[in-house]
């Protein structure tokens, strides 16, 4: 096993009588691609919200490189090295594509606004923004407003914005949600490139071709609880996973 980058210890959150996440303890290895799977209502997105600091746990702890970050805000966790995308696209629609990425790059470089100073003077930030737009295949769309992009292009723009923050671990909540069938392979290729550059990725996704193409490890959640983990082949043969998904059928995560 490689070095543990991110882990939880009996983390739980309760909304009234509902325990959406119940005592989940998982470990995310550095430089690995981990996918969290589970039926609808399994608590996957809520668990992501606990990892990223959007929600505070009712009990339990979150650790990043063995540092307790349970009480940190989302902004503080970004500075630690945790980047997050959401199920719904989260971009600035009235800004241009380049401006969206440049704002994130400026934040990562700790470059603030200075009156009477042209944005063109921020050479490194501009170069980094262009590099990221090239990486996500949006460089030719840079002058457009984000609202003019297709949904799939907006998902790629959001990915570029998260990458601009230079995270050590990338939390991706269904990055292909709403994409056309033709756009999904492009996103798979982008994530493969990011993985190959050494970024640790944690994914929530329902598209099994994506899971097969990218994942080193699967973590299964059911009813807010951890069920099991392992490589795709191992998990697909787990009787409890078969029961949770299909009432005893075969879970096709490797085809």
Domain ranges of the chain: 1-81+167-255, 91-166
Contacts of 98 (CB under 8 A, 6+ apart): 129, 130, 133, 142, 143
* CA–CA distance, 6 with 169 (Å, rounded to integer): 8
| Fold topology of 1-81+167-255 | Rossmann fold (3.40.50)
User: pTM above 0.75?
Assistant: yes
Residue 116 is predicted with a pLDDT of: 45
Biggest CA–CA distance in the chain, Å, is 66
Residue 248 confidence class, pLDDT cut points 50, 70, 90: very low
What is the Rg, in whole angstroms, of the alpha carbon atoms belonging to the chain?
19
Statement: residue 247 has pLDDT above 70? no
Q: Which of 17, 5, 22 is nearest to 60 (CA)?
A: 22
- Please give the average per-residue pLDDT across 55-62, as a whole number: 97
């Amino acid at each position: 096993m490689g070095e543990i980058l991110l882990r939880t210890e009996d983390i739980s959150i309760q909304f009234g009588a509902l325990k959406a996440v119940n005592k989940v303890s998982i470990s995310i290895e550095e430089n690995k691609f981990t996918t969290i799977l589970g039926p609808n209502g399994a608590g996957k997105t809520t668990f992501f919200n606990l990892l990223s600091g959007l929600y505070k746990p009712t009990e339990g702890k979150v650790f990043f490189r063995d540092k307790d970050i349970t009480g940190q805000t989302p902004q503080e966790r970004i500075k630690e090295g945790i980047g997050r995308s959401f199920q719904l696209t989260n971009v600035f629609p009235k800004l241009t594509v380049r401006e969206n990425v440049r704002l994130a790059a400026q934040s990562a470089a700790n470059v603030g606004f200075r009156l009477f100073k042209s944005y063109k003077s921020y050479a490194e930030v501009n170069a980094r923004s262009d590099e990221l737009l090239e990486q996500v295949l949006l460089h030719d769309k840079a002058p457009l407003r984000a609202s003019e992009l297709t949904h799939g292009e907006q998902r790629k723009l959001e990915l570029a914005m998260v990458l601009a923050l230079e995270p050590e671990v990338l939390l991706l909540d269904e990055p292909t949600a709403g994409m056309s069938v033709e756009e999904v392979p492009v996103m798979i290729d982008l994530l493969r490139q990011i993985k190959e550059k050494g970024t640790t990725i944690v994914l929530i996704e329902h598209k099994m071709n994506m899971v097969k193409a990218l994942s080193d490890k699967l973590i299964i959640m059911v009813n807010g609880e951890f069920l099991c983990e392992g490589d795709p082949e191992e998990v697909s043969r787990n009787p409890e996973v078969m029961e949770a998904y299909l009432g005893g059928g075969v879970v096709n995560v490797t085809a």
